[in-house]
Chains A and B, each alone.
Chain A
Amino acid sequence: MRSPARLVTGTVGAAFTVIAFGLTAAAPSAYAGDFGRLEITPATAPPGATVTVNTTACGPKGSGIGDANELDAGDFEMRAGTHKEVLVGQFTVPHDTRPGDYEIVVSCDNGKDAVGDLKVIGGGKPDKPIHDRPSGHVRTGVGGSVEPNSTQVALGVGVIGLAAVGGLWLLRRRSESAEGS
């Protein structure tokens, strides 16, 4: 026969189980609607690091595609992991990524999305903009101050004018000599 004490322990244990189950069940609901949890390893990475993500949001034998475009790392493939139900993907943090939080999204073919944040920290390349000097020439003008040389334009107009007068004179001479003959 079970002692009352054991019975109590059993009940408490069962109650804990229910609470624990409730908590696990509640966790995904922290993300509104169809957002599932995306585990990101490491969650904090410097530029150049390879980051692995995994999720169960896509369901057993599910498939999906990863999106790291917020840090300009493009889309990445999600493959079935060693555990069924788990999809795993990898991407590399670009070398020029600035420190900050970036949202990584996996879109599942079942319509769910898994979302997580990656924190990018200052990495191997020291963040000292003072060493980023400019290079090459600067584009500081379009030519709006460049004007035709008015003296020379006047000279050109004068030459054309003289030629015109000369030409008219020649034509008159020709017509006069034609009349005369």
Chain B
Amino acid sequence: MSPSAQKAKGWLVGIAVLCGIWLVQNGPGGQIVPPQPSSAQAFAAGPQLQPGSPVAEPMDRSEPVRIRIPVIEVDAPMTRLGLAADGSLDVPPDENRNLAGWYGGGVPPGARGTAIVAGHVDNADGPAVFYALGSLTKGTTVEVDRRDGSTAVFSIDAIEVYDNDDFPDQRVYGDAPHAALRLITCGGGFSKETGYQGNVVAYAHLTGVR
């Protein structure tokens, strides 16, 4: 073998090593992130209730105590949330992986208006209560047990994902003439430097009471 051919093969080996290192560290699809909603789960033409889905009369106000989403095995107690100093919604304490929170300054789930519920997608130890929120589809049932003993039953109208810098406040937090529910968690892409790039938001409305 000529020295030049050997040299070429040496380069080839070097390049292969670099490719391998790149694949290990950060190649395309190098991370497995929590499930994200497909564009088919977004609103087709602006926010609207799922056609054909029943709309129940709003309930009296009563604090939520537990949230259940059977298809993704969510069954978690609920805590009351306030606002952070910057006006953003506070989040439940992140050391508890099975805890969701509802915005106590707004309406409780089941009452007329927009009830806001947030839960962690993960904490430092791994997946948390709303890890699989992004895998839900339109029509999924969400149940909220309330202090007065009743259960509010919701149906999902859409699931969308937004960039942190482009969060649609009015669309998510705005008032509603019926009993609306929003489920929010972290999502979008993930970067080691800046964390999750966005939020996954599930929109639902009250379809029944038990």
Contact = CB atoms under 8 A, between A and B. Distances in A.
Interface stretch (A11-19, A48-56, A112-120, A152-160): A152-160
B155 to A, nearest CB: 23
Chain A interface size, as a band, is 35 or more
B86 to A, nearest CB: 7
A158 B24 CA distance: 10
Contacts of B13: 163, 166-167, 170
B33 A170 contact: no
B83 interface: yes
B119 to A, nearest CB: 6
A72 B119 CA distance: 33
Given A152-B29, A156-B24, A140 B105 contact: no
A152 B192 contact: no
A39 to B, nearest CB: 35
A26 to B, nearest CB: 47
A147 B32 CA distance: 5
| Interface SS of B by simple majority | mixed
Given A137-B199, A142-B195, A146-B122, A132 B23 contact: no
Interface string A139-181: 1111111111100110111111111101100100110010000
A11 B21 CA distance: 108
Nearest to B131: A145
A136 interface: yes
Contacts of A4: none
Contact of A140 (B17, B27, B120): B120
Interface string B1-44: 10000100110111011011111110101111110000000000
Interface of A: 129-130, 132-149, 152-153, 155-164, 166-167, 170, 173-174, 177
Interface of B: 1, 6, 9-10, 12-14, 16-17, 19-25, 27, 29-34, 83, 86-89, 91, 94, 103, 105-107, 113, 116, 118-128, 130-131, 162, 164, 167, 169, 173-174, 184-187, 190, 192, 195-196, 198-199
